[in-house]
Amino acid sequence: MPINRMIDSNYNNSPSRTIYSDRFIPSRSGSNFALFDISNSPTSDQGKEDRSIAYQSLLRATLFGPDTPGTPVSRNIFRYKTETKRSLHSLQPLGYDESGLGISHSPVKAPRKVPTSPYKVLDAPGLEDDFYLNLVDWSPNNVLAVGLESCVYLWNACGNKVTKLCDLGIRDSICSVGWAQCGTHLAVGTNNGQVQIWDASNCRRVRTMEGHRSRVGVLAWSSSLLSSGSHDKSILHRDMRARDDFASKLVGHKKEVCGLKWSYDEREQASGGNENRLHVWNQHSAQPVLKHCEHTASAKAIAWSPHRHGLLASGGGATDR
């Protein structure tokens, strides 16, 4: 049998196969082409609108300049992604802002509400109504000291307990009180010009210091150094580690010293006088390094800023406008 006949016979006897498609192009005979029609979808309309707005903004800026009023220019022109917002308080390592996902790691602080009425009122019979006296001071241990006539009372805010610290008698009265920056010692200025140091934990007087010729209306601590201002126009620096009643004396005011405050770095001291003047002293000078005469009343209220070096606030009396 000829070879070509054998080939034809074998080829005709083989089962026929239906070829559905090419090896790289799948058959789409069973596909629903209606599902692929997105010409009228909302997403397509939105995309066209965005592109139209971007084109109009770009055209307006090109023809009339970028400051022409109109639709705000999109910042995403020629940028193919939106910049990721970052949060300062995010816990993510790259600081992504997850507010869009409903997740917020930023601390949200509610507005502080300051009550208009006191939550507690303490009885203070005999509290002297004198603008130049400083009869109330709060300790770092949450104990309030109040001078009432010749007595000093302590109110513990934690235990709501009232303790009588001392009684000077009928011949003297309390003019100022001041807690030490640490510990339980309280300085008491008297009308006779004395400065007494009391241990509040034991209700015991540990020291009495002289030096002033008139009442001591203001006290200010700086570590182990205690400063006292008096009606005799002077300021005395007292070192609690020394035996002497005072280490140095400052004279610069023409009337009673009614305000006294050390800076937080303990390098400068501000003093206010009844002659409407504010002085600033340093540790190494017996004369004020700065004098301010802007007040028109007694410069009594003095406060140093704990956040900025050398920033001082002061306030005067009722006629200081």
pTM for this structure? 0.64
Q: Measure Cα distances from 67 to 62, 77, 141, 142, 227 in Å.
A: 11, 16, 61, 60, 63
Q: Measure Cα distances from 261 to 47, 63, 71, 85, 256 in Å.
A: 67, 65, 58, 46, 15
Cα gap 25→15, rounded to integer Å:
25
Domains of the chain (ranges; CATH) run 126-251 (2.130.10.10), 256-321 (no CATH)
| Identity at 59, one-letter amino acid code | L
Q: Could you read off the pLDDT of 153-200 as tens digits, one per residue?
A: 999 988 889 999 999 999 999 999 999 998 899 999 999 999 999 999
Confidence of residue 151 (pLDDT cuts 50, 70, 90): very high
Terminal Cα distance for the chain, rounded: 133
Cα gap 213→218, rounded to integer Å:
14
- Whether the CB-CB separation of 143 and 156 falls below 8 Å is answered with yes
Look-up of token digits 């006949």:
5
Q: Which has the minimum average pLDDT: 58-72, 121-135, 301-315?
A: 58-72
Q: Could you read off the pLDDT of 211-232 as tens digits, one per residue?
A: 999 999 999 999 899 999 999 9
Task: Report the Cα 8 to chain-centroid distance in Å.
Answer: 99
Nearest Cα to 130, choosing from 192, 179, 174, 187? 174
pLDDT of residue 98: 47
- Whether the CB-CB separation of 62 and 78 falls below 8 Å is answered with no
Q: Report the number of secondary-structure helices (H) and strands (E) in the chain.
A: 2, 18
